[in-house]
Chain A
């Protein structure tokens, strides 16, 4: 039987997380992401999970990492100012390889900014928000159905790769209500991190395995290992021996490189013969879809490349798309002063001209605006 219903993007994140086995949520109220916490507070007890509203954003990130270290899938949700506050403990999750999911619903910034207005100003912060070299995965849904399916994927990727995963929405997608049939969205089998098994004696919690993802010890299973944010070798204890430090830091990024194929995801529309290619995420990508349809109706060969995995950016796929379509112009519309465009410029240097289309007034970029830009750059 079909279960079609109207669901909000933020709530879809909560339901997706629960569907993927998330059983712990710690959060702090902030617009425009509070509905994620509210849905979790309501839904988690129904599946035996635990919700807690912590005293601040920092604490809620800490509690999420703590719960996950206890062997329970955990998530939090926030927006700009709160995401800034979470960065140190997010870095801990990167360094200590603790699976967790952070939903960040982007609002206008900097600082308190425009709490109820959409933005895409955190594109670079999600990549480089916490200090030091680190790897992280960022998924950027563009619809309510995708908020659900990508949060499921976020939980699964965080588990299989022992890495924090950010689900990056803009305020519009977070608050958008769309008709979805959750039962029709393939959720797949539940995915768990590899828990440590085998001999306790001589166990190394950060041993280098073939897949570069060390099995994680679960408290109570008898391994009694040490977890620290200090740079650590295979034993889990701090090290400052140069070779060991380099290997430990390098493995974190090698790990994501090795599994890039499983991480990367993107969608395209009308790219085969596109002379102008639009690269966009979130609600801006939805506007770009309409723009492509309108442009095609006018005889302009426009196409869309939409990264669903924002970081690591689907590099080869974008290069191939430009090469195969022969597009001579690329437009990157985004609700910021130009962030994703920096990555696109880096990837396409010498291959196509890259144009910016930015909006920072708290309003979305309309399809007509993108269509006008496309006609302008082709002229």
Chain B
């Protein structure tokens, strides 16, 4: 905990005071339905904090979500919110962002929503590079349906559909996104909320498609089933398993696992899809006029 407290103090302490989450959530929808200890609330807080810092106009903000625990978050954001179908928020958001380039489109999705049923949409959104931000909450499990195995469930974990332990390998969502061509890819744990906010800020201001994986925790279902302890214990062990990407070559690697880097993992410039499409069309019209 001390580590995290220091980070909060040292990075951007000032804006924390100005940010009042009540200006960004629908208070009439409280109490929310998330379980005690669920990391999704922290991720939502970090997202709203980033939106606050960037001064985005709530009227121009569109939050699009799919189905699952992550899908319910859009209803709590005081914005234009769209709770769509399972796995398809990126498809809906693609139509919305293309038809309305003036909107800030933010997709909230989960590991099952974006890596299983919606995997095709994720890789093509990465390839296309349409301007939007996708925040994927990875809690390693299908929580809303009662705790079934997901594409990110760690090896050996117990779920209701892997009673003998999970024998499937996992997807590394960030590697998948980067491999599919995403121009901004990042990962953070909920415990590092300031770093997560900073990452989301960078993602939202990135011109093109940005993908941020948030390592969340499902305490009530996944944690309990696998005896992972309370929420603080879960997020602490999560944090110790992560290493900032910048430290990837440091000498302590043999002493700490270094398999899941955090921070900005990929970032490069490529033509934004909507602008490129409109430019191509305009060029063709010009040719036709000659």
A residues apposed to B, CB below 8 Å? 23-24, 26, 45-46, 50, 52, 54-56, 58-72, 74, 88-89, 92, 217, 219-230, 237-238
Contact = CB atoms under 8 A, between A and B. Distances in A.
A65 B95 contact: yes
B132 to A, nearest CB: 11
Contact of A63 (B59, B91, B277): B91
Contact of A66 (B64, B120, B277, B284): B64
A322 B102 CA distance: 55
Contacts of A223: 80
Report the 6 A-B pairs with minimum CB-CB distance, sorted nearest first.
Answer: A66-B95, A62-B91, A63-B95, A45-B281, A66-B92, A67-B99
Given A24-B99, A52-B98, A219-B80, A63 B60 contact: no
Nearest to A63: B95
Contacts of B284: 45
Interface string B261-290: 000000000000000010001101100000
20 contacts: A24-B99, A26-B94, A45-B284, A52-B95, A52-B98, A59-B90, A59-B94, A62-B95, A65-B84, A67-B96, A70-B62, A71-B99, A71-B100, A89-B88, A220-B80, A227-B83, A228-B82, A229-B83, A229-B84, A238-B75
Interface in B78-122: 78-85, 88, 90-100, 102-103, 120-121
A64 B81 contact: no
A228 B64 CA distance: 10
A51 B62 CA distance: 21
Interface SS of B by simple majority? helix
A58 B117 CA distance: 11
Contacts of B95: 24, 26, 52, 62-70, 74
A55 B180 CA distance: 13
A237 B82 contact: no
Contact of A224 (B58, B88, B102, B281): B58
B124 A55 contact: yes
Contacts, number: 138
A59 B99 contact: no
Nearest to B98: A50
B80 A225 contact: yes
B75 A220 contact: no
Contacts of A237: 29, 75
Contacts of B75: 226, 228, 237-238
Given A66-B84, A224-B78, 17 more contacts: A26-B94, A45-B281, A52-B277, A56-B120, A60-B91, A62-B88, A63-B98, A66-B92, A66-B99, A68-B99, A69-B96, A70-B103, A89-B85, A217-B80, A224-B58, A224-B80, A228-B82
A355 B62 CA distance: 54
A69 B98 CA distance: 12
A46 B285 contact: yes
Contacts of B96: 66-67, 69-70, 219
Given A24-B95, A58-B88, A228 B100 contact: no
Interface of B: 26, 29, 58-60, 62, 64, 74-75, 78-85, 88, 90-100, 102-103, 120-121, 123-124, 277, 281-282, 284-285
Nearest to A66: B95
A263 B31 CA distance: 43
Interface centre among B29, B98, B123, B282 (most CB of A within 10 A): B98
A238 B29 CA distance: 10
Contacts of B103: 70, 219-220
Contact of B84 (A52, A62, A219): A62
Contacts of B85: 62, 88-89, 92, 229
A139 to B, nearest CB: 23
A66 B81 CA distance: 11
Given A55-B121, A92-B85, A69 B74 contact: no
Given A24-B99, A59-B88, A45 B82 contact: no
A63 B82 CA distance: 13
Contacts of B277: 50, 52
A240 to B, nearest CB: 12
Nearest to B277: A50
Given A45-B281, A220-B100, A222-B59, A65 B83 contact: no
A101 B264 CA distance: 41
A72 B99 contact: yes
A50 B26 CA distance: 33
Nearest to A50: B98
Nearest to A46: B285
Contacts of B94: 26, 52, 54, 59, 62-63, 66
A224 B79 CA distance: 5
Nearest to A222: B59
A64 to B, nearest CB: 6
A56 B204 CA distance: 27
B196 to A, nearest CB: 24
Contacts of A62: 84-85, 88, 91-92, 94-95, 121
Nearest to B273: A52
A69 B85 CA distance: 14
A45 B285 contact: yes
A228 to B, nearest CB: 4
Interface centre among A24, A65, A68 (most CB of B within 10 A): A65
Contacts of B83: 226-230
Interface centre among B60, B277, B281, B285 (most CB of A within 10 A): B281
